Amino acid sequence: MDEWVWVQEEPRNMGAWHYALPHLREIAGNDIPLKYIGRRRRSSTAEGDPKTHKKEQNRIVTGALTRELEGRDEEC
């Protein structure tokens, strides 16, 4: 099955995700699942802790490249 995956470094409620989603949905229709890989919603753009940031960054990149962490991405 085909799917489209949106990957962004910013938290879900920041960055281009909310702008792009309606446009992607219009193009994809209901036949192609849209997935989001990125940081969860946050009130701040920063993780606050360098170790946590590095761990989360690794999760995003690994998930985008390998799709092994599919349980944490969200279908939209």
User: What is the spatial distance between Cα 64 and Cα 76, in angstroms, rounded to a whole number?
Assistant: 16
**Is the distance from CB of 44 to CB of 21 less than 8 angstroms?**
no
pLDDT tens for the chain, residues 1 to 76: 588 999 998 889 988 999 999 999 999 988 899 999 998 888 877 778 899 999 999 999 998 888 754 544 555 6
Burial of 56 (0-12, 13-18, 19+ CB in 10 A): middle
CB neighbours of 25 closer than 8 A, spacing ≥ 6? 34, 76
**Is the distance from CB of 7 to CB of 20 less than 8 angstroms?**
no
The domain in which residue 11 lies consists of: 4-75
pTM score, whole prediction = 0.74
Here the CATH number for the domain that contains residue 60 is 3.40.50.11610
